[in-house]
Amino acid sequence: MICPECRTDNIDGVDHCENCGQPLLGLDLPDAAGAPRGREFIYERLCDLPAKAPVKVETTDPVGLAVRLMQDQDAQCVLVMRAGQLAGIITPWDILHKVAGPTEDLNAVTCGQVMTADPVFLRDDDNIAVAINKMSVGGFRHIPLLRAGVPTAVVSISDVFQHISPHLA
């Protein structure tokens, strides 16, 4: 039995951890207080993850502004808004594959022309399992989180894995 206090592997049936002395009696019973919970961390809410506030632009703003904001605010993506609603998302992939080139003027192209329209989003009270599924199935690395239709954060696959990696040991 693994001690919930010090993570020492003890012989099944002992009453106290051989390393730290923590009581182990009854921890092997389902729903015992302090019993290891398995993989429940996967059901934690996305709003409990550390996430940055979203960087936002309007559909009519030039792509050059989106690039500058991504650089200045160390953002991995920019949310594109139209009339206060999420209209799209711009990632470095969008910029590299849709507009970047030796003669392209980033201020002559609007964010609305380059964005990935109608991005998949989640509610901030959705859980980590849903985010992993959406990112895996959709093949993307960023998901905007909305509360009452308003973007509150962007969660990246990196944010998710940094949060769950301690539980995977």
Domain locations along the chain: 1-36, 46-167
Cα–Cα dist 86/66, whole Å: 15
pTM of the model: 0.74
pLDDT at 28: 57
pLDDT tens track for 10-64: 888 888 888 888 888 766 554 444 444 556 778 889 988 887 789 999 999 999 9
H-helix or E-strand containing 85?
strand 85-90
Residue length of the chain: 169
Class of the 46-167 domain? alpha beta
Pairing of strands 78-82, 56-58: parallel
Q: Considering the chain, what is the average pLDDT of its residues?
A: 86
pLDDT tens track for 62-73: 999 999 999 999
Burial class (CB in 10 A: 0-12, 13-18, 19+), 127: middle
On the question of pLDDT at 96 being above 70, the answer is: yes
H-helix or E-strand containing 92?
helix 92-98
